[in-house]
Amino acid sequence: MRVFYSFLVVLAASSLLAMGTNHITITKAEIANTPTKQNHTWIAFTSYRDGRGAIYVMAPDGSDVHRLTDTSDNDFPVWSPDGKKITFESLRAGYSQIYVMNADGTNQVNVSKNHYYEDSPSWTLDSKHIVFESSKDAYAAESPQFYVMDADGSNRLQIARDLPIGAAGPVLSPDSKQIVFVSQYGGWEIYVMDLNNKNVRKLVDGQFGPAWSPDSLLIASYGNLTLTSQAVFVTNVRTGENQYLTDDSISASSPSWSPDGKHIVFTAEQGQSHRAQIYVMNLDGSQQINISNNAFFDNHPSWSHVPVTIANFPIELTLVPTVVPTATEPCHCNENDPQQRTLFAQVTVIIGTVTALAKETTRPPTFHTRDQLDATQTAIRGTLVVQRTSAFATLTATAKGTGQP
């Protein structure tokens, strides 16, 4: 118990210190015209543009896009308030675990380090602790339980008990006084409670994915607007007044706030595309701008609290560049679908690499230029043509009864 109250004192002190933090302010015009530079706020997000869930970052105008993870099944990035770390969920261990990495993608560490399902991480204001949910003791409590731990995974402490059945997704308020969470029992509901596990009250029905405004006065969330679309809503925590910001022209979800509280970044799909994109809009729902602006699937944005200077992105330097088939290499896919064309090209590279290994030839090194990759693909293409020709001849001979399988 002493440890818990010490933790509360740390949170209160960090809240007072953070009131002096300088945040970048982005106007309506600047959202679409922010120049590309390294020292700016960043939006972390999940993207499937490489065929698997990876964490990326980009500037608030959609420029300066960089990849941070090089494994599959990473999702739900969340910036630390000081801008130095990003926590996220990953299935790389075979089940959901919480990871922490540096802002440039280096030093990715599993801070869960157990065999429970753990997710929904959020930071305390001093960037030293993480609030999260864990399946530990979930069976007895009929739902996951809420915990806090140090940013390195040590000193785990349960912070909430006797919650509504189905409680999940805890998010600590910026002033470190309240936790918002959802309940899935009998339908989606959003609840708010004090950090000391008191004054649990239902805030709104039919919505989920809550995100606190920087001043801890409003909560953005999303829920069904029509039978076929979702909308982003904003709720006054004190009064419960609830207003939707997006209409049924898009299906919106996963809101996150700008540092100044004047804009919201969110995910949206238009029509039946089923390709989520990242948008930014004003707090009143106006000026909705697609900052992803691509043909892939981007989701779950998180806006950094402060400008962050990132000198380089080491993980990105080891990745094979994204390419599309050349004019001489027909794509056995939808030519008008950039995602399919990219995946087809990557599969070609993988087949070529496996073929080279099977023949005990030298494995192609990791290339960083298109010319080098094109040269390798040309060589691989020649090998594949020979193999396919030989296989076809063998099959033809076998069909005619003139050869052996």
Laid out side by side, the sheet with 277-282 consists of 250-257, 263-270, 277-282, 289-290
Helices (H) and strands (E) in the chain, counts: 6, 26
What pLDDT does residue 353 have?
58
Same domain, 356 and 236: no
Residue 231 has pLDDT above 90, yes or no: yes
Residues 301 and 352 in one domain: no
**331 is a domain residue:** no
Residue where one domain finishes, among candidates 317, 346, 378: 317
Residue 353 lies inside a defined structural domain of this protein: yes
What does the pLDDT read at residue 184?
Answer: 82
In a domain, 405, yes or no: no
Structural domain contains residue 322: no
Number of domains in the chain: 2
Residue 195 is predicted with a pLDDT of 83
- Examine the domain organization and report whether 238 and 352 are in the same domain: no
Would you call 338 helix, strand, or coil by DSSP? helix
User: Is 238 found in the same domain as 193?
Assistant: yes
Does 10 share its domain with 152? yes
Residues 165 and 282 both lie in one domain: yes
Say if residue 282 is in the same domain as residue 372: no
Answer whether residue 55 is part of any domain: yes
CATH code at 55? 2.120.10.30
Domain that holds residue 125: 2-317
Tell me: do 130 and 248 sit in the same domain. Answer: yes
Q: Is residue 258 part of a domain?
A: yes
Band of pLDDT at residue 78, cut at 50, 70 and 90: very high
Predicted confidence (pLDDT) per residue in 18-51, tens digit: 333 333 333 333 333 333 346 799 999 999 987 7
Give the residue from 266, 282, 317 where a domain finishes. 317
Domain membership of residue 133 (yes or no) is yes
Q: Among the listed ranges 22-26, 84-88, 130-134, which one has the minimum average pLDDT value?
A: 22-26
Write out pLDDT tens, residues 167-181: 899 999 999 899 999
Co-location of 44 and 134 in the same domain: yes
Whether residue 148 is found in the same domain as residue 75:
yes
Note whether 256 and 384 are same-domain residues.
no
- Amino acid of residue 31: I
Is the Cβ–Cβ distance between 119 and 89 less than 8 Å? Answer: yes
Residues 81 and 195 in one domain: yes
Confidence (pTM): 0.71
Question: Alpha-carbon distance 398 to 389, whole Å?
Answer: 14
72 assigned to some structural domain: yes
Percentage of residues in the chain having pLDDT higher than 70: 67
pLDDT tens string 138-150: 655 566 789 999 9
Backbone angles phi and psi of 94, in degrees to 5: 105, -10
In this prediction, residue 295 has a pLDDT band, given cuts at 50, 70 and 90, of confident
